[in-house]
Structure 1
Amino acid sequence: MNLTIIELGIMNLNECVDLDQKSLNGLWTKPQWEKELIDPKRICLGIIELKTKKLLGICSAWLVIDELHITFIAVHPFHQRKGLGRFLLTNLIKRSKSLQTNSIHLEVKNNNETAKAFYKSMGFKTVGYRSNLYKDGSDALILKKETNNKS
């Protein structure tokens, strides 16, 4: 597969909603996606298969002063376990360094062992806990990765 990462915009709204529905059962609504795609303080990256122009994965984050907060990361179910999530997150980490962030934060379901192992392999460490964060009542771990831009 020939892949590239692009910055997503409002023209990708329906694709984002569709991928969200297929990968995470519609974590966000269409208006939430619209806000995510047009807000200049947010970064939305997509992984595209060049031949078909199909959106295979999304990573979204908010820039808050000198921190990047990952709000969404998903890969189409047919393309999981092929390194696409790592490709997206690696690109986001590189971008965060050029934005001179000091750290990257995210939350993950406490019982999502696959995601926890993935984030650990990418250098994230558990720094906190949130009770009952998700719609289904699941708890979340707060993870952080230092980006070594501190002066």
Structure 2
Amino acid sequence: MISIKQINEKDIDLCYELDSKTMSLWSKKQWANEFKKEGTKILGLLVKNFVIGICVFQVVLDEAQINYFVINQKFRKKGFGSYLMLYLIKNCEKLSLKKLLLEVSQSNVSAERFYTRFDFSTVGVRKNYYKDGSHALLKEKKLTTK
């Protein structure tokens, strides 16, 4: 059974564990800070009550910034990422948000392809943004409000 639920602060260890097995993007302290940011929501994608994906996004005025999006490697390329992204897009449209924003490393070709499938277009570049020297591609998806 697949479900999506909002994750709260008591799940910091769970978020940190999935992150360290995938992107290793944030420390435990950084995860704790995400839960405290105003307008930030953290969604968990669950299969049989096991979290296999996480999406962190922050709503600011009429747009949302995706700060983190990951699916456990064992579950990639099976439609779970698309399921989570479609859920996020539909909910942002229900909130009458005008656009979704994110950044992705230009060296992360599979993520770049994934976002392109959802009509995210590159609107800017941050040169040498990541530790490995790769550029950050700033992406945007315009939403249809209901």
Query: TM (normalized to structure 1)?
Result: 0.91
Query: Would the aligned equivalents of 1:9 and 1:38 in 2 still touch at CA under 8 Å?
Result: no
Distance 2:84 2:131 in 1: 26
CA distance in structure 1 between the aligned counterparts of 2:32 and 2:94, rounded to whole angstroms? 25
Q: C-alpha distance in 1, partners of 2:18/2:108?
A: 19
Task: Name which of structure 1's ranges 139-148 and 38-47 shifts more when overlaid on structure 2.
Answer: 38-47
Look up the SS of the partner of 1:100 in the other structure.
Answer: coil
**Percent sequence identity over aligned pairs:** 34
CA distance in 2, matches of 1:135, 1:70: 20
Write the deviation string for residues 64-115 of structure 1: whole angstroms up to 9, x where unpaired.
1111000000011111111111111111111111222110000011122111
State the TM-score, normalized to the length of structure 2.
0.94
1:107 paired residue among 103, 125, 132 = 103
Instruction: Tell me, in whole angstroms, the C-alpha distance in 2 between the residues paired with 1:98 and 1:35.
Output: 27
Q: Aligned-pair distance for 1:39?
A: 3.2
State the Cα RMSD in Å.
1.4
Structure 1 unaligned regions, length at least 5: none
Partner of 2:121: 125
* Residue aligned with 2:22, SS: helix
| Aligned counterparts of 2:83 and 2:38: Cα–Cα separation in 1 | 23
Match of 2:25 among 24, 27, 34: 27
Contact 2:94 2:145 in 1 (8 A): no
Aligned equivalents of 1:107, 1:12: Cα separation in 2: 25
- On the 8 A contact 2:34/2:40 being kept in 1, the answer is yes
Partner of 1:18: 17
Cα distance between partner residues in 2 of 1:39 and 1:94? 22
Runs (4+) of structure 1 exceeding 3 A deviation are none
Deviation at 1:40, TM superposition (A): 4.1
Distance between the aligned counterparts of 2:91 and 2:10, measured in 1?
A: 22
Aligned to 2:47: 49
Q: How many residues align?
A: 146
Question: CA offsets, 1:124-145, max 9 Å, x none?
Answer: 1111111111122211111100
